[in-house]
Amino acid sequence: MFTPKSLLKNIPKITPKYVKILDKLGLFTIQDFLFYLPFRYDDFSKTVSLSDEHIDSIMTVCAKVTKVKLNRIFKRRMTIAEIFLEDENQTPLKAIWFNQPFIIESLSVGTIVRLSGKLSREGKYFTLTAPAWEKAAREETNTGRLVPVYPETAGISSKWIRWQMKTFLETAKYLENFVPEDLRKKLHLYNLSSALRQIHFPENSEKLLIAQKTFAFREMFLMQMKSLQVKNIWEAQSAISFDFDEKLVKKFTESLPFELTNAQRKASFEILKNLEKTRPMNRLLNGDVGSGKTIIAALSALNILNKKYQVAILAPTEVLAKQHFESFCKIFENYNFNIALLTSSYKLSPTKITRQKLLENIKTGEINLVIGTHAIIQKDVKFKNLALVVIDEQHRFGVAQRSTLQQETMELKDGEIKTVPHLLTMTATPIPRTLAIAFFGSLDLSILDEMPKNRKLIITKIILPTQRTQIYNFMRSEITADRQVFVILPFVEESKVLTEVKAATEEYKQLSAIFPEYNLGLLHGRLKSKEKEKVMQEFGNKKIQILVSTSVVEVGIDIPNATIILIENAERFGLSQLHQFRGRVGRGVHQSYCFLFTNTDSKNSIERLRALEKSNDGFELSQKDLELRGPGQLLGKAQSGISDIAMENLNNLKLIKIARLEAQNILTHDPNLKNHPLLNKALLQFSQNIHLE
């Protein structure tokens, strides 16, 4: 007898060939297999008799095979299987399959079969091309119902998964359900066994909806439980309190060459009030591209540095760390603060001392502000009195790393062993409020939704293939006026990084031939840090006029002289990512342009790109992206470890709030979950798979 814990490799009908493929999908037990959920459904639930009123509709028909025929087209190495049938009214039907000759043997004359697909007409015959089918004597699995479609991989089809799933569902009754029974009934959710049955083989769309809600709630509930646990642990710590030195802050802001926006003032005030408390701050600064997060970080650090305590600023890349180092040296040039840069490559401070000496100076407190990559949290780095950590993710959520960073922030070695540093996380992807509540529930939120005054809006245009020469000529006129240009190539999955490098290199060669009079640079993910740095330095120093780059350019590159960004195959990017690219220009005094090159004739893609033409508001575009592409594309589904169903429901604010309220209720009455052992066990498992702050 099999149970949910039974290994798939021990099940006789699953051959070693399938076991190998299932292993790659991370499916090792029957329980793993049961939780391999469909990503969509084919609605074959409408069973009809053949008639013209059903032409062009998706339907199921039951019919008897009257004749079979296999055609071979040798020139094209193709076979066409034709099956002739009649329904109960003896209406003729022809079904056609390409390169599936075995169907002739499976559907011999006299067989009664169910077929599902889109009905059309060809002369006297109704026709179905490549329909789903199964013998009418069998239970409806692949036809005649809402049919689940699973994420497939080479060697495993949805049809094969469906047959196995039918067998394995019997074991679902042995699964443990961590959602408390009273809570499940209160929210009208299925028990786990029923939810699995309805998610894989729904009886109707209403029952499918309840099953999807059940699974979405399960993950959201765990997400909020984890988030609240992290919040409770964090808030149980102590931090050093820093009084709001109004005089110091006023003097600093008055010395700036620009006026702070209202949003910047509000965010600064929220942070400075947090820093007055002995409870450690854990705040997310959520701002649009160019909304001025760096100056907020400087304001947050000012009071702490002035009291001779230390601040650490972490950036996701060495290029960005170096950029921050240069910015903060300039911002604090009139203050007596010692600032150092620490990354695996850069081991410099303004005085260019050795790494060992630098580490000693950090330990003794001689260095006040340390800026770097994750090298800052290595074991050999010890602080004297670290009081604030700023994590600049520059739109990259890095949710897996944030969990580690927050833990390591609590464990950082410094002299103040009874306290933990305050924590400020900054992100440059405007996050819709729903997602902020769902994903960042353990953080306080400050929003920069206002751009600095007098900033020129970037002119954005969709460019069709016929306009390419016109845009190239415009590029020439801008470069002649001593401006610079970015050319961005579409994203390719990490597994195809070599293809991405090849595409970038090809584009670089083509543009070099088109613009022989200019110097071009090439930037992609396979370059070493020093090579990237060299290219960026040359671009920054105007030695390079056109920079050809893959999506690595999205992160933290500040070239005020660049006025054009040209994005190839723009339809392949999400709106939020396109908005990030656009933010690479418009940083100087000159009018800037973003050209979206596309070959698509898809109405949806063009509509999406039109939204970018019309709006420069990152929050508005982020909301649009959420509606059009879903949270998975916005947050980076692979990074989060969250299932498709939970991702699709992340914009269901009501469900998220209920999950949070119920999680809070349980933790208030049972903080260690002693009375909820199944929930505690599920939460430990969830923490290993999921990556929250």
**Residue ranges per domain, the chain?**
46-144, 246-448, 459-615
Measured from the Cβ of residue 90, the count of other Cβ atoms closer than 10 Å reads 10
Taking the alpha carbons of 548, 551, 555, 561 in that order, is the dihedral positive or negative?
Answer: positive
DSSP state of 280: P
Residue 73: the pLDDT is 85
Name the strands in the sheet holding 339-342, side by side, starting at the edge strand that comes first in the sequence: 339-342, 369-372, 310-314, 386-392, 422-427, 282-287, 444-448
Contact between residue 126 and residue 120 where contact means Cβ atoms under 8 Å apart: yes
Tokens of 367: 């260095």
- Specify the range with the lowest mean pLDDT, choosing from 11-15, 73-77, 268-272, 508-512: 73-77
**Across 460-475, average pLDDT:** 94
- Specify the range with the lowest mean pLDDT, choosing from 202-211, 408-417, 563-572, 625-634: 408-417
**220 Cβ partners below 8 Å, 6+ apart?**
438, 646, 649, 655, 656, 659
Residue 41: the pLDDT is 94
User: pLDDT averaged over the chain?
Assistant: 86
**Across 641-659, average pLDDT:** 74
Percentage above 70 pLDDT, the chain: 88
Higher confidence at residue 254 or residue 503? 254
Residue 492: the pLDDT is 47
CA distance linking residue 452 with residue 264, whole number of Å: 9
Residue 556 has pLDDT above 80, yes or no: no
Helix axes 575-582, 618-629, angle to 10 degrees: 150
Residue 397: the pLDDT is 38
355-373 pLDDT, tens per residue?
888 889 998 999 999 999 8
Residue 672: the pLDDT is 92
For residue 400, name the pLDDT band (cuts at 50, 70, 90).
very low
Residue 691 has pLDDT above 80, yes or no: no
**Across 82-102, average pLDDT:** 93
Beta bridge partners of 339: 369
Which of these, 408, 334, 337, lies nearest to 371 by C-alpha position?
337
Measured from the Cβ of residue 103, the count of other Cβ atoms closer than 10 Å reads 17
For residue 499, name the pLDDT band (cuts at 50, 70, 90).
low
Residue 174 has pLDDT above 80, yes or no: yes
107-123 pLDDT, tens per residue?
999 999 999 999 999 88
Residue 555: the pLDDT is 53
378-392 pLDDT, tens per residue?
778 888 899 999 988
Residue 689: the pLDDT is 62
| Distance of alpha carbon 174 from the chain centroid | 34
For residue 202, name the pLDDT band (cuts at 50, 70, 90).
very high
27-52 pLDDT, tens per residue?
999 999 999 999 899 999 999 999 99
- Specify the range with the lowest mean pLDDT, choosing from 63-67, 184-188, 526-530, 669-673: 526-530
Q: What SS3 class is residue 562?
A: strand
DSSP state of 645: H
Residue 353: the pLDDT is 75
DSSP state of 467: G
139-153 pLDDT, tens per residue?
999 999 999 999 878
Identity at 377, one-letter amino acid code: I
Residue 453: the pLDDT is 76
**495 Cβ partners below 8 Å, 6+ apart?**
none
For residue 291, name the pLDDT band (cuts at 50, 70, 90).
confident
For residue 394, name the pLDDT band (cuts at 50, 70, 90).
very low
Residue 693 has pLDDT above 50, yes or no: no
Same fold, 246-448 and 459-615: yes
CATH superfamily, with its number, for domain 459-615:
P-loop containing nucleotide triphosphate hydrolases (3.40.50.300)
Measured from the Cβ of residue 1, the count of other Cβ atoms closer than 10 Å reads 6
**For 46-144, which CATH class?**
mainly beta
Contact between residue 209 and residue 641 where contact means Cβ atoms under 8 Å apart: no
Contact between residue 172 and residue 197 where contact means Cβ atoms under 8 Å apart: yes
Contact between residue 114 and residue 136 where contact means Cβ atoms under 8 Å apart: yes
Secondary structure (H, E, C), 624-640? HHHHHHCHHHHHCHHHH
Residue 647 has pLDDT above 90, yes or no: no
What pairing do the DSSP bridges indicate for beta strands 484-488 and 562-567? parallel
Residue 406: the pLDDT is 55
Residue 427 has pLDDT above 60, yes or no: yes
Tokens of 55: 């032409």
Higher confidence at residue 377 or residue 382? 382
Q: How far is CA 275 from CA 220, 301, 356, in A?
A: 31, 10, 32
Query: What's the CATH code, domain 246-448?
Result: 3.40.50.300
